[in-house]
Structure 1
Amino acid sequence: MIRHATFVAEHVYAVPPVEVFSAWADPAVKARWAGGPPGWNPRLDLDFRVDGVERCHGTRAGGPAHTVQARYLDIVPSKRIVYSYDVLLDQVRVLVSLATIEFARHGPGTRIVHTEQAAFLTEDDISQFEQHIRAALKSLEAELGGQAPSATGRDAARPLGGPAPPVTRQDTASLLGGPAPSAARRDAAGPLPGGEPRP
């Protein structure tokens, strides 16, 4: 039986939208914050454009091979990213989702609103899914240089229409952007992807 879940995760960052957006658009930067936990050693291929494809593949020691395949449906620089993706464990598709990332000014910083509409295709435990998305947004915060301005308590995932069903196998979490082996701050020199100047 397919299980469905829709939830929203919000997080506030201390840097402006152009900087946060760049962390999603730049392949080298995204590999640092969305590369999974230490020891997973993923390979990320990112073609960040409308109809572009992103593929992340890796294997945790003693675990199944993980593959995330995404297609970008809509991109408005520093405003929104919409993409669909699936997750495979040892070539078994366990999850399909539509994700929307919105970027908005929040004082001197940025609020991200991350909305997921997911279909879980196996009977595995799905309780780690929302927690993993929150961990990914925290990892992005470390990449961007630390603590954000006060988010008035709105930086946690919250289900829509009541609690989400128990959310895919704990191993699936590592595919969806857990803390990378290194959260080193990226070099602030030079233009952002697409030639957009830095603030």
Structure 2
Amino acid sequence: MKKRVISTLTVSTFCLLISSCVAVSKRKFWAWSKLKSETTSTPYVAFIEINLTKETVFLPTPLIMTEINYSQNYLLDIDFHTDTINQYKSLDSIQYSISAPGNSVTQAGVLPIKNGKLSIRSYSPGIYRAQCTTEPRIQLGKQKQGLNGTFIIYATDINNQPKPVFINDISLAYHKPKLWGFF
């Protein structure tokens, strides 16, 4: 028995070292994004992506890297782009209202945004971007369906004036837990 376990681990490690493909076990999450040409937020924003997910850490195992839940509650992961720094300086907080289709509001509130400063990325010149999250405080229970959401992102513009960005009545697509591969 002991020899079989050692042999299996040795072969798995060898396969991992010679293979360029690693599988990643992804947890369930909800996502919404709008491309530059489709974004209708007021004021205008080049691109917004909102993910509703649990805070996770990666556990490296042979051939499969597994995400382990770090918290019981969900957080909002926000990817926010603008074409000019003259619009926004930082994202401060987000007001959210999330409901199941045809049902009343499941969760609503306001969460502070962590690391919401807009900065230019070396790999995307001319685009100002904030990749940020909220604290994991959203409780959804055992939802396994798409959700509806309304969001207001409270931002600060370059003149230190408040500027809200409205994202009204969107559908958050449900993504089931599965193995994803990447090279």
Q: TM-score, normalized by length of structure 1?
A: 0.26
Greater strand share, structure number:
2
Q: TM-score, normalized by length of structure 2?
A: 0.28
Which has more radius of gyration? 2
Q: Which has the higher contact order (CA 8 A, sep 6+)?
A: 1
